[in-house]
Amino acid sequence: MADIIQLLPDHVANQIAAGEVVQRPASVVKELLENAIDAESTEIKLIIKDSGKTLIQVIDNGKGMSVTDARLSFERHATSKIRAAEDLFNLHTKGFRGEALASIAAIAHVELKTKQEQDELGTQIEIEGSDLKAQNVVVTPKGTSLAVKHLFFNIPARRNFLKSNAVELRHIIDEFHRVALAHPSIVFAMYHNGSEIFNLPSSNYRQRVVNIFGGKTNEKLVPVEETTEVLKISGFVGKPEFAKKTKNEQFFFVNNRFIKSPYLNHAINSAFEGLVKDGAHPSYFLNLTVDPKTIDINIHPTKTEIKFDDEHTLYAILRSAVKHSLGQFNIAPVLDFDSDPNLNTPYDYKDKSVATPPTIEVDRDFNPFKEKVSHGVGSSKPAVTFKKQNTSSWDSLYVGLESKSTQQDHNFSEVEFESDSKNETLFDDSQTETTQATYQLHNKYIVSTIKSGMLMIDQHRAHQRVLYENLLKNMTVKEAVSQQLLFPLQLHFSSTELPILIQLKEDLESTGFAFSSVKDHTIEITGVPLGVPESEVSIILEQLISDVEQEVPDSNFSATDLLAKSMAKSLAIKTGQSLNKQEQEHLVNSLFACKEPTVSPTNKTTFITMSVDDIDKKFM
């Protein structure tokens, strides 16, 4: 029988390894940026074209590589960080898989230029699909420049699975944020299709957060500092009132390495319990420093998940530190009986003895009914008199009153008649309410009668369907009504949120929004759709951004449809909202005037029916 197991050729093994290392252009960006940081660079430049599909280039001013190192860096299982197996548990550098550059070179055209400081000339290497095309001596500045072109050129199936340029660019920006936040002392710059997206100077951690997420972020940050034998925590959390629908501003760094940890994230949410609304996520930018021997960073290929020796202790310390910071800076409400400083004893009087209080003299024989009060010089009269007053002059007040009263009799009768008619109307209304066709159950469902039995409608889902179809119609016909604001509304968004809104700007305008300017992380709105309260605008846009990011739309996705769904979800009446008779009937009529009244925009049932036979069976 012939042998079955065979050794794979290197180029095939590299392509398979590339499936673990490189899922999308953002994976290449992560590897190249971390390599540049390990080279002790102080300035790193990232150049992107077509969201990384055409070009990903990282230029640094690090220590560079020798000719031998430059060639060996593309070999499988080649690394500058590990000498023995024990080194795996004591890593202080970023670390990348031994076959990272080899895997990237197996699925792209790679050009490397590198030079060490003491050398006069550098090295240039060109590789296409694991094949070495050229190796030359070139003039190049100190450091390394690595360009990855035509990603997945020899694996068309993988290239077809890439999302739209907007989605891939968002993933690249996410990776850029993670690396830039972990190293605030390094200068970072990012360019996409020739335009500058980020230019981050060397700064402290707070300034780096503000430079990335916009100037308004500074007022949202609450510092967190805690040092124990097990863990050192430093960084910031966001104030509860600025919690967002998305998780874009949640960053954990362990030993300067970005990680994802649902367990530690739960600790943060627990500290914010009762301070943020349901569905909102607090922001945090936290650096955790632990002993490298107490963590295992090799449980996931992308190194974004790590294993802690004692997670429970870290959970407790992290939760307590965040709670302490929120209380220390008066962010969290506390029950505190503050004394009025005006009631405290002055410092100069604290040692003095109490003076004798003044004496009070009381005239115990005083009687107001016996004494006389003077009303002038030499004149006096009793304080209280019981003489009957002379009322002879009062008769003049009644002269002609009888004739006037006879003239006013008709008017008084009219007043009584109007009062009676109002009472009749009030009772009529109460009688009609008892015979209304709809009834609201627990401020959640609308119950109505039909010929066959009973109809029960979910008011929130029904209103979503009505709004969704109206919004789609307005965006298609582009005849939406906009109400102008007396004062323009200014909203601030981060660098990742702003491109999403700019992309949807035209569709938003067709629903009734009016934008006057979009610049410097700020959007100025001068008009909103009819019926949309000004206070709801920021909530609607945040919900829209959240929906776009969670749906991750690709090139064949309808942004108009998503926008209509998101706005309908934000504007629909909520469960618990009381509706009067007219509102109930209007909602029922509007629902059954829709093209698809049976389901909400998210394909959930809007109403159910119960026939009389079904109800009868309940009583059997």
The answer regarding whether domain 10-202 maps to CATH 3.30.565.10 reads: yes
Task: Tell how far CA 288 is from the center of its chain.
Answer: 23
Pick the more confident residue, 136 or 3: 136
Cα dihedral sign, 72-74-80-86: negative
- Does the pLDDT value for residue 174 go beyond 80? yes
The side-by-side arrangement of strands in the sheet containing 514-519 is 482-492, 522-529, 514-519
For residues 271-280, give the mean pLDDT: 85
Question: Which stretch of 207-221, 393-407, 570-584 has the lowest confidence by average pLDDT?
Answer: 393-407
Q: Report the pLDDT value the prediction gives residue 93, as an integer from 0 to 100.
A: 56
- Reference 125, options 179, 74, 83; nearest CA is 74
Pick the more confident residue, 587 or 372: 587
Residue 92: helix, strand or coil by DSSP? coil
Instruction: Give 111's pLDDT tier (boundaries 50, 70, 90).
Output: very high
For residues 124-136, give the mean pLDDT: 89
- Does the pLDDT value for residue 348 go beyond 70? no
The CATH fold of domain 208-328: Ribosomal Protein S5; domain 2 (3.30.230)
The answer to whether the CB of 322 falls within 8 A of the CB of 225 is no
- Does the pLDDT value for residue 247 go beyond 60? yes
The CATH fold of domain 454-591: Ribosomal Protein S8; Chain: A, domain 1 (3.30.1370)
User: How many CB atoms are closer than 10 A to CB 495?
Assistant: 18
The answer to whether the CB of 498 falls within 8 A of the CB of 517 is no
Provide the percentage of residues in the chain whose pLDDT is more than 70. Answer: 77
The answer to whether the CB of 71 falls within 8 A of the CB of 135 is yes
Question: Which stretch of 84-88, 95-99, 386-390 has the lowest confidence by average pLDDT?
Answer: 95-99
Q: Report the pLDDT value the prediction gives residue 98, as an integer from 0 to 100.
A: 44
Q: Report the pLDDT value the prediction gives residue 424, as an integer from 0 to 100.
A: 44
Q: Report the pLDDT value the prediction gives residue 225, as an integer from 0 to 100.
A: 92
Q: Report the pLDDT value the prediction gives residue 280, as an integer from 0 to 100.
A: 85
- Does the pLDDT value for residue 468 go beyond 70? yes
- Does the pLDDT value for residue 287 go beyond 50? yes
Name beta bridge partners: 153.
Answer: none
Q: Report the pLDDT value the prediction gives residue 158, as an integer from 0 to 100.
A: 82
* Highest mean pLDDT, choosing among 19-28, 185-194, 307-316: 185-194
Residue 558 tokens read as 């309808």
- Reference 566, options 541, 591, 585; nearest CA is 541
pLDDT, tens digit, 9 for 90 and up, residues 492-531: 887 777 878 887 888 788 788 888 887 777 888 888 887 7
The residues, ordered by sequence, that sit 6+ positions from 443 with a Cβ below 8 Å of its Cβ are 575, 576, 577, 578, 579
Instruction: Give 44's pLDDT tier (boundaries 50, 70, 90).
Output: very high
pLDDT, tens digit, 9 for 90 and up, residues 418-463: 444 444 444 444 444 444 478 888 889 999 888 888 889 999 999 9
Instruction: Give 553's pLDDT tier (boundaries 50, 70, 90).
Output: low
For residues 547-554, give the mean pLDDT: 64
- Does the pLDDT value for residue 36 go beyond 70? yes
Pick the more confident residue, 373 or 555: 373
For residues 130-143, give the mean pLDDT: 90
Whole-number Å distance between alpha carbons of 109 and 116: 24
Whole-number Å distance between alpha carbons of 547 and 562: 8
For residues 88-116, give the mean pLDDT: 73
Report if pTM > 0.85: no
The answer to whether the CB of 101 falls within 8 A of the CB of 74 is yes
Domain boundaries, the chain: 10-202, 208-328, 454-591
In 423-539, which ranges are E strands?
A: 438-441, 445-450, 453-458, 482-492, 514-519, 522-529
Whole-number Å distance between alpha carbons of 308 and 306: 7
- Does the pLDDT value for residue 49 go beyond 90? yes
For residues 403-432, give the mean pLDDT: 47
Instruction: Give 166's pLDDT tier (boundaries 50, 70, 90).
Output: confident
Q: Report the pLDDT value the prediction gives residue 498, as an integer from 0 to 100.
A: 81
Task: Supply the mean pLDDT for the chain.
Answer: 80
Residue 412 tokens read as 């008084």
Whole-number Å distance between alpha carbons of 128 and 205: 40
Q: Report the pLDDT value the prediction gives residue 332, as an integer from 0 to 100.
A: 62
Question: Which stretch of 105-119, 174-188, 291-305 has the lowest confidence by average pLDDT?
Answer: 291-305
